[in-house]
Structure 1
Amino acid sequence: MNSKKIEAVFIDRDGTIGGTGHFIHPKDFTPYPFSKTALKLLKDNNIKIFACTNQHRISKGEATISEFYNEFKLLGFDDAFICPHNPSEGCDCHKPNPGLLLEASKKYNLDLMKTAFIGDVGSTDMLAAHSVGAIKVLVLTGWGNGSLHHHRHTWSNVVPDYIAENLLDAAKWLMDNV
């Protein structure tokens, strides 16, 4: 992996950047204490950081997509790729489908094999990353521990490249190993 130059990192929101893994409105969302340091580490190494999140509560009118975009901008993200749809709609952008990653690739001319995805859910984040050949980093915050142990069967055909304690551990590992 050391020969790869990483072009961008996709980062899930709920349970990865902060929160509990459950929906929290952008005005009430608080990042974990280490998250801003992790994001700064990636940006200081000239790596684009993109939020990549399923937010079906948008389709229920509980938040707006612009509220999420503003939140991610304030956190220092270069862009955000957000699926606003209910999972039952069958869209291409709801993770584990790769639509958000493909959209980012087209918009920023990315080689997705030279990207990484950091997330806390194997059955969405890790499967989406795997489908495009991205480096897969599972964090143990949010749903991560349960995803790794109790729900491993839902993504048993995929192995994360690294299992991180949290977003900062994931960012440090990427800087040291990719």
Structure 2
Amino acid sequence: MKLILLDRDGVINRDSPDYIKSPEEWIPLPGSLEAIARLSRAGWRVVVVTNQSGLARGLFDAATLDAIHARMTDAVEAAGGSLQGIYHCPHGPDDGCDCRKPRPGLFHQVARDLNIDLAGVPAVGDSPRDIEAATVAGCSPLLVKTGNGARALAEGRIPQGIPVYEDLAELVQALLRQCPPSQGGPPERSH
């Protein structure tokens, strides 16, 4: 099985320091929906793994998050792609849970649900916590410069050797070029 894990805010859609609190605030980044569609057509299973502390902060409720994810799923499907799952951590940063990135709990949940070893599975993020969680879970972390990625990179908060891409579209292009249908490893590129 070819599997890729994607962070949501800053990778698939625009991020906001005020959080994405409604379906109307969920705005896809240029090329991201088409990139997911390309992965789907190439036989990849795409799973979203996202911190959503706005729930714990009372900024939106579970029904609103479901509506945001329905909008994302509909947009991906309209572009010709599909999502195999959306995993979210509803906790705040001080709740001490295992599922909030940089902890790897959400990744472990995906592994259990799909009955798969995550060793080498590409995991795409835009922040140091995404990279740390992916690394701890045994995935191959990949950074995009969208969202918080460019700033984190400029501030030296991304470990050396992590492959870096302008955006999800560039990453997927490299991934599909370097991983023929019979293979599933991460693309090789570093900053």
The answer to whether the aligner puts 1:89 opposite 2:103 as a matched pair is no
Q: Work out which of the residue numbers 143, 146, 167 in structure 2 matches 1:141.
A: 146
Aligned match of 1:3: none
Does the aligned pair in 1 maintain the 2:104–2:137 contact within 8 Å? Answer: yes
The root-mean-square deviation of aligned C-alpha atoms, in Å, is: 1.7
Aligned match of 2:133: 128
Return 108-117 or 18-27, whichever deviates more: 18-27
CA offset at residue 82 of structure 1?
A: 0.2
Does the aligned pair in 2 maintain the 1:51–1:72 contact within 8 Å? Answer: no
TM alignment of 1:8-23, pairs within 5 A: 8-22=3-17, 23=19
2-structure distance, mates of 1:119, 1:21 = 15
Does the aligned pair in 2 maintain the 1:7–1:111 contact within 8 Å? Answer: no
| 1:165 maps to amino acid | E
Aligned match of 2:73: 73
* Alignment deviations for residues 68-104 of structure 1 (CA, whole Å, 9 cap, x no partner): 4423432332110100100100100000100000000
Aligned match of 2:34: 37
Aligned match of 2:161: 159
Q: Work out which of the residue numbers 44, 47, 50 in structure 2 matches 1:47.
A: 44
1-structure distance, mates of 2:43, 2:95 = 36
1-structure distance, mates of 2:155, 2:135 = 20
CA offset at residue 59 of structure 1?
A: 1.4
TM alignment of 1:54-69, pairs within 5 A: 54-63=51-60, 64=62, 65-69=65-69
2-structure distance, mates of 1:137, 1:14 = 15
CA offset at residue 13 of structure 1?
A: 1.1
Count of aligned pairs between the two proteins: 168
2-structure distance, mates of 1:44, 1:135 = 22
Return 59-68 or 11-20, whichever deviates more: 59-68
2-structure distance, mates of 1:68, 1:108 = 24
Distance 1:52 1:150, change over 3 A: same
What TM-score, normalized by structure 2, do the two folds share?
0.81
CA offset at residue 151 of structure 1?
A: 4.5
Does the aligned pair in 1 maintain the 2:26–2:72 contact within 8 Å? Answer: no
Unaligned regions of 5+ residues in structure 1, if any? 1-5
| 1:81 maps to amino acid | Y
1-structure distance, mates of 2:41, 2:9 = 24
Aligned match of 2:181: none
Distance 1:116 1:45, change over 3 A: same
